[in-house]
């Protein structure tokens, strides 16, 4: 099996996504290379290693706090969904994966791509999941 030159990048990038990164892979590369390229293939090995190091050191700092009322509402709904999973001792990654896997009204999207109505439905479903979890825990005998 051949070594994947980009495995470390994707591991670091996915970690930033789980911690709130709203930038695409291309935006991260474009920002890092100061608008020289948006492609990983154009990076030299040492550049790629430096980018991975940068991502690992600044995981979570890519998050841009929304300022528009509609975006603030969506951000708060996403946080509420994550909170439901946190109460079940689950991680934000678990909440995001759940939302992306199950979707709403037959539509599956990336977590940050859902609109406010869809996020509200996801929140209602997350509350039901938590209630079912609590019921299952209360019925469990030790």
Number of folded domains that form the chain: 2
Q: Which residue has the tokens 């209602």?
A: 124
Which band of pLDDT confidence, cut at 50, 70 and 90, is reported for residue 40? Answer: very high
pLDDT beyond 80 at 47: yes
Which band of pLDDT confidence, cut at 50, 70 and 90, is reported for residue 107? Answer: very high
Q: How many CB atoms lie within 10 A of CB 122?
A: 24
- Segment 18-45 mean pLDDT: 87
In a domain, 62, yes or no: no
Supply the pLDDT for residue 93. 87
Chain centroid offset of residue 47 CA:
25
In a domain, 108, yes or no: yes
Q: How many CB atoms lie within 10 A of CB 128?
A: 11
In a domain, 42, yes or no: yes
Supply the pLDDT for residue 22. 78
Across the chain, mean pLDDT equals: 88
In a domain, 1, yes or no: no
Q: Which residue has the tokens 């979570």?
A: 60
Q: Which residues pair with 107 in a beta bridge?
A: 104
Q: Which domain holds residue 17?
A: 7-57
Same domain, 43 and 75: no
| pTM as predicted | 0.57
In a domain, 63, yes or no: no
Same domain, 89 and 120: yes
Could you read off the pLDDT of 56-106 as tens digits, one per residue? 887 655 556 678 899 999 999 999 999 999 999 998 889 999 999 999 999
Same domain, 86 and 133: yes
């Amino acid at each position: 099996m051949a070594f994947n030159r980009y495995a470390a990048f994707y591991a670091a990038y996915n970690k930033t996504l789980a911690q709130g990164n709203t930038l695409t892979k291309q935006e991260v590369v474009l920002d890092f290379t100061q608008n020289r390229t948006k492609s990983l293939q154009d990076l030299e090995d040492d550049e790629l290693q430096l980018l991975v190091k940068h991502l690992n050191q600044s995981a979570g700092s890519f998050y841009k706090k929304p300022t528009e009322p509609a975006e603030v509402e969506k951000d708060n709904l996403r946080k509420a969904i994550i909170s439901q999973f946190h109460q079940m001792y689950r991680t934000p990654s678990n909440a995001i994966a759940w939302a992306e896997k199950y979707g709403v009204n037959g539509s599956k999207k990336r977590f940050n791509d859902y609109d406010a109505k869809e996020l509200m439905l996801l929140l209602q479903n997350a509350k039901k999941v938590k209630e079912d979890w609590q019921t299952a825990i209360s019925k469990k005998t030790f």
